[in-house]
Chain A
Amino acid sequence: MAPSSSSGLTFKLHPLVIVNISDHYTRVKTQLNPPPSVAAASGNGHGGDVAFQQNPRVYGCVIGVQRGRTVEIFNSFELLYDPITDILDRSFLEKKQELYKKVFPHFYILGWYSTGSDAQESDMHIHKALMDINESPVYVLLNPSINHAQKDLPVTIYESELHVIDGVPQLIFVHASYTIETVEAERISVDHVAHLKPSDGGSAATQLAAHLTGIHSAIKMLNSRIRVLYQYLVAMQKGDIPCENSLLRQVSSLLRRLPAIESERFQDDFLMEYNDKLLITYLAMFTNCSSTMNELVDKFNTAYDRHT
């Protein structure tokens, strides 16, 4: 397997796809391994094939859009694996595709997904079978084993490339790098479930705390990454590690991009927004004062039995 893809495509993966695959796997695994209370009640034991039941493989399709060189994977749906033909059930796939087209007409089948620690040789059969739907499908592989020591997402995206190996041209899987892309609503709901926030209003203080905590956590992440880079550069300067010119060029280019925006137009827009918000706050304060004033006047009139 070649280390990385040379297609030049940019892959963007949405969190919904990851949660979808995770849910599919969890569901299949739980059905094969019922909770102890249910298993005891029904008298079912786990039987022989424990290893298979522990980590069943699930399969599905990933859908999204491709705009130029950017492939954005938005969603996925489950498929059936036909063990006789060793490929995904085609009629089922077409039926599902038809159903999804009605609701998401702009999404196309971009590839397929499965679970496991690494791509198998047999996965290429499935991959090739999808090539009549998509000329260059992607393969999204999720490793379902939970390892708390790992910091990287256990999701790998593979593309297929034609390589000549021992004089024989053959398709092999190559790693493709990807970024996580979210739409605003998706990011908010991922945050919501990740931190299990209550959906009720909460007080203004709670809302403010939640909002600022989010920003604080993001800035903390940025800070930690900058520190790592800084320490790496210091070590390079000291000579502890060999000088890496490409990294130095990247860091230099990044630094030269700051300040991020410094145009007059941005300043105008920014200050306009700023003043609009101050104006809204001012008017809200006046509204509050008017309400309080009205209550006072009423109480005064009631106390002194005044009629309007």
Chain B
Amino acid sequence: ASDGIFYYDDVAQAKFQQEKPWANDPHYFKRVKISALALLKMVVHARSGGTIEVMGLMQGKTDGDSIIVMDAFALPVEGTETRVNAQADAYEYMVEYSQTNKLAGRLENVVGWYHSHPGYGCWLSGIDVSTQMLNQQFQEPFLAVVIDPTRTVSAGKVEIGAFRTYPEGYKPPDEPVSEYQTIPLNKIEDFGVHCKQYYALDITYFKSSLDSHLLDLLWNKYWVNTLSSSPLLGNGDYVAGQISDLAEKLEQAENQLAHSRIGGIVPATLQKKKEDEPQLAKITRDSAKITVEQVHGLMSQVIKDILFNSVRQ
């Protein structure tokens, strides 16, 4: 029964395409279900790009207010933050790949695009918002997924976000509630200007019965990699960058303190949104995040040192 999600009903999908329920409700799609395969492919591709933004497309279908991502494929496009609609460079590739996929039995259509934000979090920049708005104009239903491969490795969990933009000029009735994330100083303006133009969808994952069985058995092999890996190695530049950014934010906060009567505090009665949180409090949260990740890494190193280096003949 759990494998039923893998069945592609083209009649039902065509019917949904005709009805277009999203046309009257900019907030129609609320959930995203990503397959184990799609997640794996996207994260591996994003990490392979290193510090360069890479992108790809996602194939899938819809089910009510959910977009189901069955598969993903990489596009030969880099530097997605340098121009709007970077995927235009790969239209020919997209068409060819989709055609070959259909021949091989992958019947799902393209339902979105993914790209990476190496080290600066999962959100949509101005260019991303423009690209996604264009996509939503001509290719609905369409989803934007952002993956941060650097933070994924640093934090030890997948950093991913799924978004859809509102139409131009639309003002949502409620402020979207989003989870706090650290944004580097040089990206804060880009983030702040456009953050109200899109909303985040809830992400869940699914896998087939065979996937579950294989992943359980895989643990019998890759536990060695879990034990031997260390998030401290390989991410040194990122950590240095984070600390440097933190220092710059502190400098900015200090300048604000020096020039304001109240040191950034908004009385609780007037505090309507989380954005009114004092800048210093945000910086404290950022520093706590960096510290927690570093301490986690250190813990595993110390445990391994005790385990493998304290043995004596």
Contacts and interface: CB of A to CB of B under 8 A. Distances in A.
Interface residues of B, number: 109
B307 interface: yes
Contacts of A196: 205
A187 B280 contact: no
A201 B226 CA distance: 21
Given A194-B219, A199-B203, A287-B284, A218 B104 contact: no
Interface in B225-241: 225-227, 229, 231-232, 234
The 8 residue pairs across chains A and B that have the minimum distance between CB atoms: A185-B47, A180-B221, A35-B4, A193-B36, A260-B308, A78-B104, A284-B291, A194-B215
A19 B283 contact: no
Max count, chain B CB within 10 A of own CB: residue among A210, A281, A284: A284
B222 A27 contact: no
Interface stretch (A126-134, A147-155, A159-167, A237-245): A147-155
Chain B facing A: main interface SS:
helix
Contact of A26 (B208, B234, B291, B309): B208
A1 interface: no
A270 interface: yes
A3 interface: no
A80 B303 CA distance: 49
Given A192-B157, A302-B262, A23 B208 contact: yes
A123 interface: no
Contacts of B159: 199
Interface stretch (A46-54, A94-102, A227-235): A94-102
Contacts of B292: 204, 207-208
Interface string B1-30: 101101111010000000000000000000
A138 B246 CA distance: 50
Contact of B100 (A95, A180, A291, A302): A95
A27 B100 contact: no
Nearest to A289: B284
Nearest to A222: B227
Contact of B298 (A77, A191, A194, A274): A274
Contacts of B155: 207
B311 interface: yes
B199 to A, nearest CB: 15
Contacts of A38: 7, 9
B263 A298 contact: yes
